[in-house]
Structure 1
Amino acid sequence: MPLIAQQPYVKVKREVHSIEQIDIELNRMIYLYDDKVVTQHREFPVTDVLDMSYRQVGGDGGLLYLHTIKGVYTYTVKFSPTKFIEAFKVLKDN
């Protein structure tokens, strides 16, 4: 199972203390293999991923959507995942 593409994403963890809220950015990666898509806590067989899409929010970043048979999963990205999505679509077309 060779690695086809990878896309960095950010998970924001919020910690609330008695007088403040702290947002901690955790840098993570989505990996596209020929048979699956893997994130930090999830693994999707490619056959279960129906589509991927992207919506720009603000300047450079936005939201990457994985449309699966079990629902839509959203990942915050700091730059356009166009190459990652194109690699997925080429894989699905074969």
Structure 2
Amino acid sequence: MNLIAKQTYSKVIREVSSIEQRDTEQERTMYLYDDKVVTQYREFKIHDVLDISYRFIGDDGGLLYLHTNNGVYPYIVRSSPKAFVEAFKEFQKTL
């Protein structure tokens, strides 16, 4: 298991009480290994990942999309995931 690339992403946690709603943003890291892609709570086998793409939304970043056999998983990114996506596409050519 060799690390190929990593990408930071954000997760917004919404806490609701009887009198207020509070949003907390956590910074997390996605790891691309030669046999899997790992996020904080999910792990995808590399053969189940069909593609990785991203779309910028305004000036605050955008969304990184992990296209898998089980659906599409969006992740909020604050910095460009271009290097991460290109690393995946280059590695995918070797499979």
The normalised TM-score by structure 2 is 0.96
Residues 63 and 77 in structure 1, CA contact (< 8 A), matched pair in contact too? yes
Q: Distance in 2 between matches of 1:84 and 1:71?
A: 20
Residues 60 and 80 in structure 1, CA contact (< 8 A), matched pair in contact too? no
Q: Distance in 2 between matches of 1:6 and 1:19?
A: 39
- Would you say how many aligned residue pairs link Structure 1 and Structure 2? 94
Identical aligned residues as a percent: 64
Q: Distance in 2 between matches of 1:37 and 1:60?
A: 25
Residues 12 and 25 in structure 1, CA contact (< 8 A), matched pair in contact too? yes
The alignment yields a C-alpha RMSD, in angstroms, of 0.8
Q: Distance in 2 between matches of 1:73 and 1:36?
A: 15
Unaligned 5+ runs, structure 1: none
Tell me what 2:66 maps to: 66
- The Cα shift of 1:85 comes to 0.2
Unaligned 5+ runs, structure 2: none
Q: Distance in 1 between matches of 2:60 and 2:87?
A: 20
Runs of 4+ in structure 1 deviating by more than 2 angstroms, as ranges, are none
> Superposition pairs for residues 34-45 of structure 1, below 5 Å?
34-45=34-45
Secondary structure of the equivalent of 1:84?
Answer: helix
Tell me what 2:25 maps to: 25
Q: Distance in 2 between matches of 1:70 and 1:18?
A: 36
> Superposition pairs for residues 44-63 of structure 1, below 5 Å?
44-63=44-63
Q: Distance in 1 between matches of 2:58 and 2:21?
A: 23
Secondary structure of the equivalent of 2:18?
Answer: coil
The normalised TM-score by structure 1 is 0.97
- The Cα shift of 1:60 comes to 4.2
- The Cα shift of 1:35 comes to 0.7
